[in-house]
Amino acid sequence: MKRKVVWICLSALWAGLVGCSNLDQKNTEEEYPLAAVELIAPAGAGSGYDLTIRSVAQCLSGTGLVSVPLPVTNKPGGGGSVSLGYLDEMRGRDDVLSIFSPPICLINLNGTTDLNYKNNTTPIAKLVVDYGCFAVRADSPYGTINEMMEALKEDPNSIRIGGTSSEGSMDHIQFLKIAQAAGVKRLKEIPYEGFENGGAVAQLMGNRVDVLSAGISDVVGLVESGDVRVLAVTSRERLEGEVISQMPTCREQGIDADFSTWRGLFGPKDMPEYAVEYWEGTLEKMVQTKEWAENCEKYGWTMEYQGHQDFEVFLDKVNGEYAVLLEDIGLLKSPAGGAGG
């Protein structure tokens, strides 16, 4: 009889503990987020990554969509591999998000890191599409993109290219893709240097590089001031905006190629489902606000929201396209395409 009573008491105690645990989990899900959520920019201050993630933070806070602090941390290095590694260490966490763009695929494909979007992150949502540009100082001898490409055809070492991403990553690849389409040979001989700490524009103005391959948002302020000229943008058609609409495309200058830079938010691998659903829904609301529309117009971003599932399908598609591109220019190091580990 005593054993039966003890068993009943233990069973009741266990049921109570399980019930409390389930209640605590339910409360966590309903009240999330309760504390600060760290936002990561994989490059330095002033970069496209930095501008995008800070715009997200300001918009979410300014519109009241999120009430907890959203501190931004810059983690440049390795074309984004430093941030990707940091995110991988946060597996299962619900309090960290990172912005990424094509380099999350490229740095795996080019052999910089074994980490990849599929095995080491949780894609949350695609937010915008940005485009690249090729900028020179106001006193540059090159007046058009074609003049620069002709010089590279004669001597691939004659022009120093700089970017905000590492060698073999986004800014480097977008330049090589356009150069290839323009008929430039010996692409690997073209000097390229990446400045991930946010100093790329300063390197252009300081004459350390001749051309800056970057995002439009990286240089739009210096275009307005007259210090920099944009020879071409990588969009298919001219973009809207008082300043940006004056920038010619590669295609209208006879170079039949373009390159788009999507940007989206990622959580750690195994991020709790309640956190994924919260951020997916909250970001969907954010992109419908006038504050977000104003940021997109200011920086020349095209709004292109995709939720969690559609974003994953998109990533698989573009990862395959990047693998083909890298193979064409001789920089592919991961034949499996990176998505399979």
Closest CA to 133 of 232, 27, 211: 232
DSSP 171-186: HHHHHHHHHHHTT---
Question: Is 277 in the same domain as 244?
Answer: no
Question: Is 224 in the same domain as 296?
Answer: no
User: For position 6, what pLDDT does the model report?
Assistant: 47
User: For position 338, what pLDDT does the model report?
Assistant: 45
As a dihedral over the C-alpha atoms of residue 83, residue 264, residue 257, residue 175, rounded to 10 degrees, the angle is: -20
Domain-located, residue 197: yes
Structural domains of the chain, count = 2
Last residue of a domain, one of 205, 236, 260: 260
Question: Is 145 in the same domain as 225?
Answer: yes
Q: Are 95 and 272 in contact (CB under 8 A)?
A: no
- pTM for this prediction: 0.79
Cβ neighbors of 176 (< 8 A, separation 6 or more) are 187, 190, 329
Domain-located, residue 206: yes
Domain-located, residue 25: no
Domain-located, residue 190: yes
Last residue of a domain, one of 208, 240, 260: 260
As a dihedral over the C-alpha atoms of residue 110, residue 112, residue 117, residue 121, rounded to 10 degrees, the angle is: 180
| Cis before 33 (ω within 30) | yes
DSSP-assigned letter for residue 249: B
pLDDT < 50 stretches in the chain: 5-6, 9, 20-25, 336-338, 340-341
Rounded to whole angstroms, how far apart are CA atoms 190 and 126? Answer: 32
Query: How many residues comprise the chain?
Result: 341
User: For position 98, what pLDDT does the model report?
Assistant: 98
Last residue of a domain, one of 260, 284, 318: 260
Rounded to whole angstroms, how far apart are CA atoms 209 and 11? Answer: 73
At residue 90, what are phi and psi to the nearest 5 degrees? -95, 20
Rounded to whole angstroms, how far apart are CA atoms 176 and 110? Answer: 14
User: For position 126, what pLDDT does the model report?
Assistant: 98
pLDDT tens digit sequence for 174-230: 999 999 999 999 998 999 999 877 788 999 999 999 999 998 988 988 999 999 999
Rounded to whole angstroms, how far apart are CA atoms 259 and 257? Answer: 7
Domain-located, residue 90: yes
The residue range of the domain holding 193 is 137-260
Question: Is 171 in the same domain as 243?
Answer: yes
Domain-located, residue 109: yes
The CATH number of whichever domain residue 49 belongs to comes to: 3.40.190.150
The CATH number of whichever domain residue 206 belongs to comes to: 3.40.190.10
User: For position 340, what pLDDT does the model report?
Assistant: 41
Question: Is 187 in the same domain as 299?
Answer: no
Question: Is 251 in the same domain as 266?
Answer: no
Question: Is 141 in the same domain as 256?
Answer: yes
Domain-located, residue 333: no
